[in-house]
Amino acid sequence: MKTAWRSSKIVTPTGIVDGVLLVDDDKIVAVTDGDEVPSGYTLRDVGLAAILPGFIDAHVHINEPGRTEWEGFETATKAAAKAGITMVADMPLNSMPVTTTLDAWEQKVAAAKDKLYVNVALYAGAVPGNVNQLSTLVDSGAVAAKCFMVHSGIDEFPNTSIADIRQALLELRAHQVPLLAHAELEIGQSYDKRNPRSYAAWVTSRPEQMEIAAIEALFDLCRETGAWVHIVHLATGAALPLIAAAKSQGLRITVETAPHYLYFAAEDIPDGATQFKCAPPIRSSQTREALWRGLIDGTIDMIASDHSPAPPAVKQLESGDFTNAWGGIGGLQFGPSATWTQMSQRGLGLPHLAHWWSTAPAKLIGMSALRGSLLVGKQADFVVFDPDATMTITEADIEHRHKVSPYVGEILRGKALTTVVGGQVVYDDENGCSQPKGRIVLNPKSGLAQFNALSPESQAIALTRCCGASNWVRQVQAALPIASRNQLFALADRVWADCSTDDYKEAFTHHPKIGDVSKLREKFAATASWSAGEQSGVNQANEEVLQALAQGNADYEAKFGYIFIVCATGKTASEMLALLQARLPNDPAKEIYIAAEEQRKITHIRLEKLLQGG
């Protein structure tokens, strides 16, 4: 489908264009001045509304699986679509299990299936003792890892020590992905709980010095390891000189702040208003102004919502008890508009909004090659944004699972009219959200993402090396892209189970004959080291066994019409010979399915190698 999006304000990295954004299928193919629309394109004129690169919210707690009653993929991504957000990056907590192992990763990917209205990237969790999982998680598609330096709020995601963080940084450095740190460190602070409804007491209990102490420790580790550290939700202006100095020394540091720190101020937060509770806390208007200065001068790189909702009871809304309320703000749907509201008052323009909410977060999560700006060749992920529209937020507007948000009652400026992901409208102002067309987007450097990104021809070649049945290859390919190893294996099995015996026989012809040494060597050239590794047992066999295998295979082929297929990994030639002799008397109607099962196992081993870049 070809669409020409006409706007007087197309926000590109080189300036605002009054012209046309041309989209072919899922890609941007041109950004041109003027009104001219090439033939074959359907015109969508958005008039005075702006077109910006889709917002990317790099800090969201979706909480599924396990705490889906707190949020969930469907509600979170609907809220995102309504905000003009085309991709969110989901934190490794507070789902259950937390995303600190491959098994938990697979559970999360499976839970997201068919529920996403925008694209979702996933973070891994770095906790004490799981450093050996981090590479696996990044190889599986995690875009970065996240750690806490104080208690995270949930016991199953323990905070890391300095030594843990050092190990994690060394591991992540090799992958060129950042470690995201919740930067607050215990400094012997105390919490005066005599009035549990007091907002001031909550703020005093999490002083700025906690952030500064953590940031200093992180910078030391950054200097020592040369790894990339990203500070999430900075909430103090007092750390800005420190950050600016470290950046000027060339340390690899990025910093995000959150819209609630840029929008609200402690002076205006009433006692008992626990919908404002988060950590670090929302501080004074002085801090708010300092954070704006930090953004404008580039010390702070980006903005992300840190959406971390909880049910009203967990937020202690009735009692207003700050000492027991969940610390986390429901704000995913309002981040860009809250930011723009404040920006308008400060005379800041749309290019800054595009930078802080799209270009910079795309870079953080390694997605810059295809996302984060309106340039030719990028994914057509964008938002039609009316910068002049205002809206008074009511509970009825909220797509989050729970209608608890400090933004209720606020008048926000700037409204997403249409949200487009990969060229498809996922939200528009009149009709709301369409179908769940989003997907999990993996770290582009991961083996699976690289396989997904191959040309159809190369994918077919790679798959044929795993299993030579052309029908199987075609059907697997039709279901790509795939989001996880388990989903690829499940797909491979499902398609294989539906294949015909002719398909099975076609796959078998792609194997070297076990024991036919000369044929075997010939085939090695075609399948490179794969078959050599799998059939190492054959290489070590003595001549007598090889001859018996060759003879047995000839008998087998004469009887069944195809060669003997066995998953040779870990088997000696003698063991294979025993298997061959045991299967030789089989009824042909039964044997084909035994051989097909062996092929299925071989396919798995080869798919595994494929994902590892084999």
Q: Fill in the per-residue mask, 82 to 121: x = in contact with Zn ion (CB under 5 A), - = not in contact.
A: ----------------------------------------
- For the bound state, the minimum distance from the C-beta of residue 234 to Zn ion, rounded and expressed in Å, comes to 12
Stretch that binds Zn ion, among 1-9, 24-32, 305-313, 572-580 (CB under 5 A): 305-313
- For the bound state, the minimum distance from the C-beta of residue 330 to Zn ion, rounded and expressed in Å, comes to 12
Contact 46, 300 (CB under 8 A): no
- For the bound state, the minimum distance from the C-beta of residue 327 to Zn ion, rounded and expressed in Å, comes to 10
Stretch that binds Zn ion, among 16-24, 66-74, 298-306, 453-461 (CB under 5 A): 298-306
Q: Which of 306, 259, 366, 400 is closest to 60 using CA atoms?
A: 306
Q: Hey, what are 4's tokens?
A: 């020409």
When the beta carbons of 96 and 453 are compared against Zn ion, the nearer one is 96
When the beta carbons of 257 and 373 are compared against Zn ion, the nearer one is 257
When the beta carbons of 306 and 591 are compared against Zn ion, the nearer one is 306
Q: Which residues of 426-456 are buried (b: 16+ CB within 10 A; e: fewer)?
A: bbbeeeebeebbbbbbbbbebbbbebbeeee
- For the bound state, the minimum distance from the C-beta of residue 280 to Zn ion, rounded and expressed in Å, comes to 11
Among 57, 306, 399, 598, binds Zn ion (CB under 5 A): 306
Find the angle CA(418)-CA(421)-CA(423) to the nearest 5 degrees. 90
When the beta carbons of 205 and 305 are compared against Zn ion, the nearer one is 305
Work out whether the CA dihedral 587, 588, 593, 599 comes out positive or negative: positive
When the beta carbons of 152 and 424 are compared against Zn ion, the nearer one is 152
Q: Hey, what are 444's tokens?
A: 């582009």
Contact 417, 428 (CB under 8 A): yes
Cα torsion through 557, 561, 567, 571, rounded to 10 = -10
598 forms part of the interface with Zn ion (CB under 5 A): no
Stretch that binds Zn ion, among 97-105, 212-220, 303-311, 391-399 (CB under 5 A): 303-311
Stretch that binds Zn ion, among 17-25, 300-308, 417-425, 471-479 (CB under 5 A): 300-308
Contact 81, 48 (CB under 8 A): no
- For the bound state, the minimum distance from the C-beta of residue 392 to Zn ion, rounded and expressed in Å, comes to 27
Stretch that binds Zn ion, among 280-288, 302-310, 346-354, 445-453 (CB under 5 A): 302-310
- For the bound state, the minimum distance from the C-beta of residue 361 to Zn ion, rounded and expressed in Å, comes to 14
Find the angle CA(214)-CA(234)-CA(381) to the nearest 5 degrees. 130
- For the bound state, the minimum distance from the C-beta of residue 450 to Zn ion, rounded and expressed in Å, comes to 29
Give me the residue whose beta carbon is nearest to Zn ion. Answer: 306
Q: Using CA atoms, how far apart are residues 216 and 218, in angstroms rounded to an integer?
A: 5
Stretch that binds Zn ion, among 161-169, 306-314, 410-418, 560-568 (CB under 5 A): 306-314
SS3 readout for 163-176: HHHHHHHHHHHCCC
Q: Which residues of 380-417 are buried (b: 16+ CB within 10 A; e: fewer)?
A: bbbbbbbbeeebebeeebbbbbbebbbbbebebbbbbb
Q: Fill in the per-residue mask, 314 to 353: x = in contact with Zn ion (CB under 5 A), - = not in contact.
A: ----------------------------------------
When the beta carbons of 60 and 592 are compared against Zn ion, the nearer one is 60
When the beta carbons of 215 and 420 are compared against Zn ion, the nearer one is 215
- For the bound state, the minimum distance from the C-beta of residue 480 to Zn ion, rounded and expressed in Å, comes to 32
When the beta carbons of 5 and 148 are compared against Zn ion, the nearer one is 148
Work out whether the CA dihedral 26, 27, 31, 35 comes out positive or negative: negative
Q: Using CA atoms, how far apart are residues 104 and 100, in angstroms rounded to an integer?
A: 7
Stretch that binds Zn ion, among 152-160, 299-307, 331-339, 457-465 (CB under 5 A): 299-307
- For the bound state, the minimum distance from the C-beta of residue 308 to Zn ion, rounded and expressed in Å, comes to 5
- For the bound state, the minimum distance from the C-beta of residue 104 to Zn ion, rounded and expressed in Å, comes to 18
When the beta carbons of 117 and 148 are compared against Zn ion, the nearer one is 148
**DSSP for 562-607?**
S------TT--HHHHHHHHHHHTTS-HHHHHHHHHHHHHHHHHHHH
When the beta carbons of 21 and 332 are compared against Zn ion, the nearer one is 332
Q: Using CA atoms, how far apart are residues 371 and 348, in angstroms rounded to an integer?
A: 23
- For the bound state, the minimum distance from the C-beta of residue 233 to Zn ion, rounded and expressed in Å, comes to 7
Stretch that binds Zn ion, among 172-180, 290-298, 304-312, 535-543 (CB under 5 A): 304-312
When the beta carbons of 183 and 514 are compared against Zn ion, the nearer one is 183
The count of other CB atoms within 10 Å of the CB of residue 601 is 14
Stretch that binds Zn ion, among 39-47, 301-309, 338-346, 567-575 (CB under 5 A): 301-309
When the beta carbons of 301 and 306 are compared against Zn ion, the nearer one is 306
**DSSP for 125-175?**
E--TT-HHHHHHHHHHT---EEEESS--SSTTSPPPPHHHHHHHHHHHHTT
When the beta carbons of 63 and 475 are compared against Zn ion, the nearer one is 63
Contact 405, 330 (CB under 8 A): yes
Q: Using CA atoms, how far apart are residues 491 and 211, in angstroms rounded to an integer?
A: 46
- For the bound state, the minimum distance from the C-beta of residue 279 to Zn ion, rounded and expressed in Å, comes to 9
When the beta carbons of 157 and 508 are compared against Zn ion, the nearer one is 157
- 2 forms beta bridges with 24
Q: Using CA atoms, how far apart are residues 409 and 51, in angstroms rounded to an integer?
A: 27
What is the contact surface with Zn ion in residues (CB under 5 A)? Answer: 306
